[in-house]
Structure 1
Amino acid sequence: MRVRRSVPTTLLAGLAATTLALPLAGQAGAADPGARGAVPARGTAHMGMGVLRHDGQGKAAPGGVSTLAVQTEGVDVSSHQGNVAWSTLWNSGVKWAYVKATEGTYYKNTYFTQQYNGSYNIGMIRGSYHFATPDTTTGAAQADYFVNNGGGWSKDGKTLPGVLDIEWNPYGATCYGKSQSGMVSWIRDFLNRYKYRTGRDAVIYTATSWWKQCTGNYSGFATTNPLWIARYASTVGELPAGWPYYTMWQYTSTGPTVGDHNRFNGDLSRVQALANG
């Protein structure tokens, strides 16, 4: 004879609540990267903000890429770093830098002057980047806002072309509510306008997994726009389609003095060549 054991009512209630909560949590996480924490305030996004959450650290996807023997150290900064100790970075071997200038058409980095001029004055080759928000305004409008607020270029040998930082949306849906073809069109709109305003092809900063998901692994920009790849691992791993090599690699968010450290795929003369166009 089998004896049926009763399950405490409180345990049944807990299991039911858990079962009901799981699908809802999964749906929210898929749509909203900020679901696992508070959604940040507009303007606070920075380069690589979603890399740890979505790509992790210490992982490298398979796939061989071309890497030169010599790499040149660089950093990227935003308002999160405040007034940067540029002399400390210079003395540690950092020779180039990128500074966040703008986001969308609504935000300008309040520390831009100290960061942009400070890196230049210490001797670094430097440039600026724009954090894209394709759900707020057109690519052309954001390119204009970027160029008008620190994203321009001059052939002085120490100014790098501007960067389009296109990655996970920290404020909502991963791909900003756009289809893959819609995202490609938005990016093209930005790049074309930036080229028209400055005469230079902008650098594209992204992560392979995001690029695959949100552009369908589009390869059409590889012949004109240098690639700045984000992956926090010992090797860069797979690159987005079309690019046979990376120009820059953001390899960590936990570097000394400034968290985000990068390697330029070549010696200092190659950094200078990119600055000179």
Structure 2
Amino acid sequence: MTLHLLLSACRRLAFSGLLVCGSIAVAAATGTDNNNPKAASASNSSNSAAVVRGIDVSRWQKEVDWDMVSQSGVSFSFIKATEGDYKQDPFFARNWEETKRHGIKRGAYHFYKPEIPVARQVELFTSTVTIEPGDLPPVLDLEVMDRELTPEQLRKDVRTWLEAVTAHYGVRPIIYTGQNYYRRYLKGYFPDYHFWIARYSDVKPDIHHTDSWMFWQFTDRGSIAGINSAVDINFFAGDFEQLNLLCVPEFMAHNRYDRESPLSQLKHLQPLP
């Protein structure tokens, strides 16, 4: 997609209800209660219109020129880290470091394989990814289904992954999925988690009234300077300040070695004597 097409897409989105003049309240985009004081406060915190655009990358984009990407209006990037219980993305380490170095908000995601034991998938992801303050929450990528698995068992296993990763990092993950997968298997079952929905349409994601979406993957055919292949383009349902609020705070970011020492989390709140 050229810059012209992206601008055209943004104009179409304006009519579909995602982009509005002034700040964009997260509550409005997610379908949560507009009378919520916290949501209202977040909405009023910005007095300028902003389209917060991001990408997601994996080995398919190969070696990304993050310097050029950072100059292309990209505010955040989700980076593939792991898949199943055996595969690490060969470009993860480089992408993870380069996004931070160039001031792009970063988040790591795990491609879930329903046929593989959950514990092994949790171990691979948590042993690969170290989250730092300012990073986006981890993401569970749900796209495939196992014929031997019932929807109920899938949801049970997914919840096990989400809760284990929450316990490890101290922050709830985001669930990525396509609109159809969401409707078939997830709709209304995970109200405590934000969704990132892939829907290649001018119409924003359609979700259950108890759910909320934070990110919309608008196309998988985007064109960004610094990437020599098609790339997914995503919009965040809010302004940049709200994106910052979604990121991991200082006192919650830790790696797997902190699990033995819960008190280590308090050192960021008050210096030890």
Mark yes or no: TM-score above 0.5.
yes
In structure 2, distance between residues paired with 1:63 and 1:134: 35
- Deviations 1:78-129, CA, capped at 9 Å, x for gaps: 0111111212221110011110000000100111121111111111110100
Match of 1:145 among 113, 116, 124: 124
- Report if the CA contact (8 A) 2:197-2:215 is conserved: yes
| Structure of larger gyration radius | 1
Does residue 210 (structure 1) correspond to residue 181 (structure 2)? The answer is yes
Does residue 239 (structure 1) correspond to residue 211 (structure 2)? The answer is no
Aligned sequence identity (%): 28
Matches within 5 A, 1:31-46: none
Does residue 90 (structure 1) correspond to residue 70 (structure 2)? The answer is yes
Matches within 5 A, 1:24-173: 66-67=28-29, 70-138=50-118, 140-150=119-129, 152-154=130-132, 156-157=133-134, 159-167=135-143, 169=144
SS in 1 for 2:106: strand
Does residue 272 (structure 1) correspond to residue 247 (structure 2)? The answer is no
In structure 2, distance between residues paired with 1:96 and 1:118: 12
- Report if the CA contact (8 A) 1:175-1:214 is conserved: no
CA distance 1:135–1:241, shift in 2 (3 Å): farther
CA distance 1:221–1:256, shift in 2 (3 Å): same
In structure 1, distance between residues paired with 2:190 and 2:205: 19
- Report if the CA contact (8 A) 2:82-2:124 is conserved: yes
Offset at residue 211 of structure 1 (A): 2.2
Does residue 180 (structure 1) correspond to residue 180 (structure 2)? The answer is no
In structure 2, distance between residues paired with 1:241 and 1:205: 18
Q: Which runs of 5+ in 2 are unaligned?
A: 1-11, 19-26, 30-42, 44-48, 225-229, 250-273
Say what the alpha-carbon RMSD is for the aligned residues. 2.4
- Report if the CA contact (8 A) 1:135-1:176 is conserved: no
Offset at residue 141 of structure 1 (A): 2.6
- Report if the CA contact (8 A) 1:229-1:239 is conserved: no
- Report if the CA contact (8 A) 1:132-1:164 is conserved: yes
Q: Which runs of 5+ in 1 are unaligned?
A: 1-57
In structure 2, distance between residues paired with 1:225 and 1:120: 25
Q: Letter of the 2:189 partner, please give it.
A: G
The equivalent residue for 1:259 is: 231
The equivalent residue for 1:37 is: none
- Report if the CA contact (8 A) 2:173-2:193 is conserved: yes
- Report if the CA contact (8 A) 2:205-2:216 is conserved: no
Offset at residue 176 of structure 1 (A): 4.9
- Report if the CA contact (8 A) 1:95-1:125 is conserved: yes
